[in-house]
Chains A and B, each alone.
Chain A
């Protein structure tokens, strides 16, 4: 049994009179501890998949099984609980609370998470031990994304979902962030799912899911993922 299993998932958005089908029968599986990259062009429906996986949205049809539980059938409250305990989310634009220091931003997550990790340890893990007391505005983009990752990881989630985590970062910083994510996956066994339209980084993943036109075009399995340092693009 796969750790994550999406079965015939359909998601439609209603925009006035027209209906947009964002996901039209998505099917894929992910094993625990895998580093997964979901690839696809803008508007293909990958973010929708991620949002559904992250418990931020519910599919109209189909099953979304995470660790054997179908979150598609969750109530709003169960969804929040799911987000609270099982999911870490990293956005393209970090979405840090500007009024909180780096550490506090992390603490924001650990406050509510039952199996939270030690904040300082996590901060150290993401390489921000000495920036803990800084406010987001005082941090560079990479640093901010590190804080965001730390915030996501500190909850000790079952899934770490990253939506274009490097989209707003320069090449080097992006690389470092991807490395952090890869290392995290490797070191902690956390299942990491990254959305990107950058196909170049696909080799670093255990599993690459291609989404096109609201459907999974194909799923590649990579037995030996490449360390990100070795990938150039």
Chain B
């Protein structure tokens, strides 16, 4: 027991006296273990953290989405799936905020919701309508605070929010995170605006204006508590996904039919409505026309009526005149008739009188005639006497005249004038006068003759006349007799005339009465006519008024019609177009598609897993390598320690200590250091470093509760390695030593033979070296093992650091290489192939008219699968440019090594490198691609081009048509090239998204940001890596140098004694270190290059390739860091060497 006690003391004393070594071994193990376990733990920790959050928030297992929402029958189908634990329907809608135009996805919330529970960061969830809780990201919080109002605006002018939401403004009541999103930075895509979401929100389900659910979330009994990142979970989910999608196969068909029927009916209704509308328009027009015609008719009629009235008036006036005339004429007539009658009466009376008179006359006449006859006979006697007197006078006269007047005595003359007074000679002249005149000389005697002749003639004629008259009177008497007869007759006719007249009077009276009656009638008629006329005028006025009104109405109607017609026609045209669209889309309407999404489809979900996996991938090689160095160095240290203590071992052995007792010290020492190192390392590795790494991802992924778990396998592995490296080393070295006899042990180990080195045989070099350099060279090769170890250690550290820097390079390079050098376009516009040709044309025009755009290229873009057993099926994008000449401006095709440029030609497709690598395709091979209909196409591969993310297959249109047997190919996308900023892009995006022909616009800039975000977090890991490598480098160098120094302490003391200055002493040994470091750096560059390549290959995902290029500055940094650590170690050593007790070292002989 006492012995044991002494031994124990001895052991601890050893540890105490060689603290530095003990610590360095512990530290080496600690670093190795912690780094190894940390990287091993971080990935699973990240996944567990996420899984815990998902579990707590009851994240759905499957999220079912349909192109047409979910009806009752659909929900029923889902409910009837096997193993369903919970099923919840909900609504969602992508909206744009009024402020800053942020794109948000709004979810519905009911307080009964059990799935996808929001994690409340601040505030609360909505409790009543009009409240909203928003994603609690810094971006959102910088715009809205609790109590603010969020207002949504429609995505475009022709869309209505009210189709989906009952209100557009909501009050912010809280900030939340949803388990549907892993990162607040990767929020997935949206079909509106710039295409990617900026956040999400949750409002009461009642605020949605939808009748059927847009989303259905499900969980399953058998997946409860299963690690969602586990393959078992994934395969089960895949099974359920397939089952769900399968179970909707029939339903999709019937639902389509239902929809088609409904839609057809609706369309028919709509058509009818349009027809009605059209008819209405026509009717309206007709009505208007009719009205117009009527108005015109009315006008005509009024004109007619007016003229009629005018005529009537004229007529009436005429009638009046006529009447008046008639009346006058009638009166006249009547008067005439009366007067006639009276005249007739008078006449009759007169005639009666006349007759009476005539009868009288006749009687008188007869008396007269009889008298006359008696007279006449007397007269004839007088006349014949006168004649005989006158004849005698004439004879006397002739005789008187024959004597000249002068001769005639005055008695004669007076006698003559007296005789002549009774004889009238016409002209109231009497013969007396004539004589007078004659005697006066005024008349000729002839005239007296003549006048007497005349009077004789007259008497002769009177005689004659009297004879005649006698004659006549005899006739007259006869006549009178006749007259008497006639008068009798006349009397007779007078009597009948009187009777006639009487009759006529009677007729007259009757006629008069009749006439008056007729006149009265006419008067009445006229009166009536006037009143009619007046009435007519009145009516006409009202009609005119009415017409005027009608006209006004018509005018109004016409104006209105014209106004509305345009609108109505446009509406109708729209409606028709809509119907046509509807018909076309109905025709094109495909079965509703039901997608069963798993968690992996959640934005960021796979990226998160990938990030975790990438860490795990790093944990595979990296720390192992790291660990190996640490282990090797501790191995060397232990070896050295035991070797140093050979004499001691020999002494103990000589004193009779058993092998075990002797060994115990070393085991305790070695294992103590390693167990302590491992324990601390594991603690640090499981609880410390993962915290830092997860923290690094915090900006991307922030889960409320972190899971930091210990893991058995890395723990055990670390333990085993650590114990192996120390314990087994101790055992192996001790075994060797303990086999020897104590004497052998106590004798100094035969010093290593000095040896000439190979270099000395090359005088060309050797002779050029100065003495110290020669010494250094010699020394370098003398301690080959340590040299190798140093080189290896430094190379390893250098390699690790380089890998760290290199990873940084590779990560940061990708986006620049991919989105700058290789894909030289800045945006991709995808046209909606279901849209109408004109719409696409319009969209294309909009693109070509965009100002600021440098160039654009139409391409055919199509997704294909590439399959091969043993390789995960890959999605490859086939791009066929319309203009192959222009293509190089948009996509740079080149070999990664050598940067030889390619063009796409008819020789075949150009495929991207990763795709080629995955399927082992080389230039000249063929690649088989599978389209969505499971049709396979073989395409010869002409070239393999550099590419980092995604898989692309580029080919010419002809190649496409030749090998991918499609007759028609539409250019369904456009590549845009420009040099513009983010704001410009946002504007472009907003503009283009308004076009129906455009399905999506995606920008490389946002991909770069996303990419850099995702990759940026890996940088922290890289930093951790670099720091660890640096620490390791330091410890390794320190340890090895320490060993070197202690092994060569005599030599160092010797040269110190010889008068080497401190610097020279340090350099004496450190020159070797510098050289070894340089060699290590050089060698490490290759190691780093290889390690970098290896890590990249391991860490890269199937659809991604890192840039393998290591930047010069990565070499430089890693090298400089290595040299820096070397210098630091040198400085430490320098101080140590300064205080070396040279005397002590030189005294002993070992």
Asked whether, in the complex, the Cβ of B751 is within 8 Å of the Cβ of A98, the reply is: yes
Binary per-residue interface labels of chain B (1028-1057) against chain A in the complex, 1 for a CB within 8 Å, 0 otherwise: 000000000000000000000011011111
The answer to whether B1062 and A135 have CB atoms under 8 Å apart is no
Judged by a CB distance under 8 angstroms, whether A93 is at the interface is yes
In this assembly, does B768 line the interface, its C-beta being within 8 Å of a C-beta of chain A?
no
Contact present for B771 and A84 (CB under 8 Å): no
Task: List the B side residues contacting A140 at CB < 8 Å.
Answer: none
- In this complex, what residue of B is CB-closest to A167? B1149
Bound-state CA distance A56–B1148 (Å) is: 16
Q: How close is A32's CB to chain B, nearest CB, in angstroms?
A: 21
Most-contacted residue by chain B among A82, A97, A100 (CB, 10 A): A97
B775-A93 in contact (CB<8A): no
| Contact (Cβ within 8 A) A80 B753 | no
Q: Determine if B1058 and A151 form an interchain contact, defined as CB atoms under 8 angstroms apart.
A: yes
On whether the beta carbons of A107 and B771 are closer than 8 Å, the reply is yes
Partner of B754, one of A82, A112, A136: A136
Question: Given contacts A51-B1143, A112-B1064, A168-B1149, is CB(A99)–CB(B754) below 8 Å?
Answer: yes
Q: How many A-B residue pairs have CB under 8 A?
A: 95
Per-residue interface assignment for chain A, residues 11 to 51, with 1 indicating a CB less than 8 Å from any chain B CB and 0 otherwise: 00000000000000000000000000000000000010001
Contacts of B1056 in A (CB 8 A): 80
A136→B754 CA distance, assembly (Å): 7
CB-based contact A104/B774 at 8 Å: yes
> Does A97 lie within 8 Å of B1054, measured CB to CB?
yes
Secondary structure of the B side of the interface?
helix
A3 within 8 A of B: no
In the complex, which of the residues A51, A76, A84, A98 contacts B1059, with contact meaning CB atoms closer than 8 Å?
A84
Assess whether A197 is interfacial by the CB under 8 Å rule.
Answer: no
Residues of A within 8 Å of B1147, CB to CB, are: 47, 92
- Contact across chains for B778 and A95 when beta carbons are under 8 A apart: no
Which of A57, A104, A113 lies in contact with B1143, CB distance below 8 A?
A: A57
Chain A CB within 8 A of B1074 CB:
no
What chain B residues lie within 8 Å of A7 (beta carbons)?
none
Of chain B, the residue at the smallest CB distance from A86 is B1059
Contact size class for B? 20 to 34
Nearest chain B CB to A45 CB, angstrom units: 13
B772 touches which of A77, A80, A111, A168 (Cβ 8 Å): A111
Q: Does B1090 contact A (CB under 8 A)?
A: no
B748 CB, nearest partner CB in chain A, Å? 10
Contact between A137 and B1058, CB atoms less than 8 A apart = no
Report whether B754 and A135 are in contact in the complex, using a CB–CB cutoff of 8 Å.
Answer: yes
Q: A107-B771, A111-B771, A168-B1149 are in contact. Are A135 and B753 (CB under 8 A)?
A: yes
* Residues from 116 to 147 in A contacting B, C-beta threshold 8 Å: 135-138
Is the CB–CB distance between A100 and B1149 below 8 Å?
Answer: no
B1061 at the interface (CB under 8 A from A): yes
A160 CB, min distance to chain B CBs, angstroms:
13
Nearest chain A residue, comparing its CB with the CB of B751: A98
Q: Name the residue in A47, A98, A136, A151 with the highest tally of chain B Cβ atoms < 10 Å from its Cβ.
A: A98
User: How long is the Cα–Cα vector from A57 to B1139 in the complex, in angstroms?
Assistant: 12
Chain B neighbourhood of A151, CB < 8 A:
1058
- Residue B196 is within 8 A (CB to CB) of chain A in the complex: no
Closest A residue, CB atoms, query B770? A111
Q: Is the CB of B1057 within 8 A of A83?
A: yes
Q: Which residues of B contact A108 (CB under 8 A)?
A: 771, 775, 1055, 1058
Question: Is B755 a contact partner of A135 (Cβ separation < 8 A)?
Answer: yes
Chain A residues with CB under 8 A of B354 = none
Asked whether, in the complex, the Cβ of B778 is within 8 Å of the Cβ of A93, the reply is no
Does A109 belong to the interface (CB within 8 Å)?
Answer: yes
- Judge whether A81 is part of the interface by a CB distance below 8 angstroms: yes
Nearest-neighbour CB distance to chain A for B468, whole angstroms, equals 223
Contact of A112 (CB < 8 Å), options: B750, B778, B1050, B1060:
B1060
In the complex, whether A184 has a CB less than 8 A from a CB of chain B is no
**Interface size bucket, A side?**
35 or more
Q: With both chains docked as a complex, state the minimum distance between the C-beta of A104 and any C-beta of chain B, in angstroms.
A: 7
B1058 touching A84, Cβ below 8 Å:
yes
How far, in angstroms, from A93 to B1051 measured CA to CA in the complex?
12
Confirm or deny: A64 has a beta carbon within 8 angstroms of a beta carbon on chain B.
no
The chain B residue with its CB closest to the CB of A84 is B1059
A98 contact set on B, CB distance < 8 A? 751-754, 1051
A44, B581: Cα distance in complex, Å: 118
Closest B residue, CB atoms, query A96: B1054
Cβ 8 A contact of A95, one of B755, B779, B782, B1054? B1054
Q: Mark B1133-1150, 1 if CB is under 8 A from A, else 0.
A: 000000000110011110
How near does chain B come to A162, taking the closest CB pair, in angstroms? 13
Within 8 A of B (CB), among A47-100: 47, 51, 54, 56-57, 76-77, 80-85, 87, 89, 91-93, 95-100
Nearest chain B CB to A43's CB is how many angstroms away? 12
Q: Complex Cα distance A188/B1060, Å?
A: 25
**Smallest distance from the beta carbon of B749 to chain A beta carbons, Å?**
12
Q: Contact string, B727-762, partner A, CB cutoff 8 A, digits 1/0?
A: 000000000000000000000001111110000000
Q: A23 to chain B: closest CB distance in Å?
A: 14
Which of A54, A109, A113, A151 lies at the interface centre, i.e. has the most chain B CB atoms within 10 A of its CB? A109
Q: Which residues of A contact B1148 (CB under 8 A)?
A: 93
Q: Are A89 and B1064 in contact (CB under 8 A)?
A: no
A80 lies within 8 A of B752 (CB): no
Q: What CA separation (Å) do A93 and B779 show in the bound complex?
A: 21
Across-interface contacts of B1149 in A (CB, < 8 A): 92-93, 168
A89 & B772 in contact (Cβ 8 Å cutoff): no
Shortest Cβ distance from residue B30 to the other chain A in the assembled complex, whole angstroms: 32
Docked complex Cα distance between A91 and B1143 (Å)? 10
B775, B1057, B1062: which has the most chain A beta carbons within 10 Å? B1057
- Minimum CB–CB distance from A134 to chain B (whole Å) comes to 8
Q: Closest approach, in angstroms, between the C-beta of B766 and any C-beta of chain A? A: 12
A83 CB contacts on chain B under 8 angstroms: 1057-1059
Q: What is the bound-complex CA distance between A6 and B1147, given in angstroms?
A: 24
Q: Is A101 an interface residue (CB 8 A)?
A: yes
**Nearest CB in chain A to that of B782: its residue:** A99
Q: Known contacts A81-B1059, A99-B778: does B754 contact A93 (CB below 8 Å)?
A: no
- Considering the complex, which residues of chain B in the window 324-355 have a beta carbon less than 8 Å from any beta carbon of chain A? none
* Closest-CB distance, A218 to chain B (whole angstroms): 26
User: How far, in angstroms, from A47 to B1144 measured CA to CA in the complex?
Assistant: 11
Contact of A97 among B750, B1051, B1059, B1142 (CB under 8 A): B1051
Is the Cβ of A137 less than 8 Å from the Cβ of B754?
Answer: yes
A97 to B1053, CA, bound (A): 10
A85–B1059 CB distance below 8 A = yes
Q: Which residues of B contact A104 (CB under 8 A)?
A: 771, 774-775, 778
A138 to chain B, nearest CB (A): 7
B1146 touching A91 by the CB < 8 A rule?
yes
If the complex has contacts A100-B775, A104-B771, are A87 and B1059 also in contact, measured as CB distance less than 8 A? Answer: yes
List residues of chain B with CB within 8 A of the CB of A113.
Answer: 1059
* CA–CA, A101 and B778, complex, Å: 10
A95 to B: closest C-beta gap in Å: 4
> What does the 1/0 interface line of B1060-1095 toward A look like (CB < 8 Å)?
111010000000000000000000000000000000
Closest chain B residue, CB of each to CB of A136: B754
Contact A112 B1059 (CB under 8 A): yes
A-chain residues with CB within 8 Å of residue B782 when the two chains form the complex = 99
Complex Cα distance A99/B786, Å?
A: 15
In the docked arrangement, what's the CA distance between A56 and B1060, Å?
12
Q: List 29 A-B contacts (CB under 8 A).
A: A47-B1147, A56-B1057, A56-B1142, A82-B1059, A83-B1057, A83-B1058, A84-B1061, A89-B1057, A89-B1058, A95-B1054, A97-B775, A98-B751, A98-B752, A98-B753, A98-B1051, A99-B779, A99-B782, A100-B754, A100-B775, A104-B778, A107-B771, A108-B1055, A108-B1058, A109-B1059, A112-B1064, A135-B753, A135-B754, A136-B751, A138-B753
Could you list 9 further interchain pairs (A-B, Cβ under 8 angstroms) beyond the known A54-B1057, A83-B1057, A100-B778? Answer: A85-B1059, A95-B1051, A100-B775, A108-B1058, A112-B1059, A135-B755, A136-B751, A136-B754, A137-B753
- Contacts from A to B (Cβ < 8 Å): 47, 51, 54, 56-57, 76-77, 80-85, 87, 89, 91-93, 95-101, 104, 107-109, 111-113, 135-138, 151, 155, 168
